[in-house]
Amino acid sequence: MTTRMRVRARGRVQGVFFRAEARARAESLGVTGWVANLPDGSVEAVFEGDEDRVESMVGWCRRGPAGARVDDLEVVPEEPAGEDGFRVR
């Protein structure tokens, strides 16, 4: 079953390869969507795909890459939109 989640990570999440590692992990899992730095210092991402794989990405976002400190992770389910590939915005 295809699912879609929008996440927003706050803390020390920019300048720690959060986007690059999220993209590599998403591509390895076959998850589509995107990830972007926001002006307020947070990172926003959308993950779409198999429910278990999307949940794996959300779980990873709770920790982030080495060097990151995720203080808060907002997770909002959305209707699947047919994302194609995974992009860093």
Q: In 3-state terms, what secondary structure has residue 18?
A: helix
Task: Decide the pairing of beta strands 86-88 and 43-50.
Answer: unpaired
Active site residues: 19, 37
CA angle 34, 75, 37 (to 5 degrees): 40
**Which of 33, 40, 42 shows the shortest CA–CA distance to 78?**
33
Do 81 and 48 meet the contact criterion of CB atoms below 8 Å apart?
A: yes
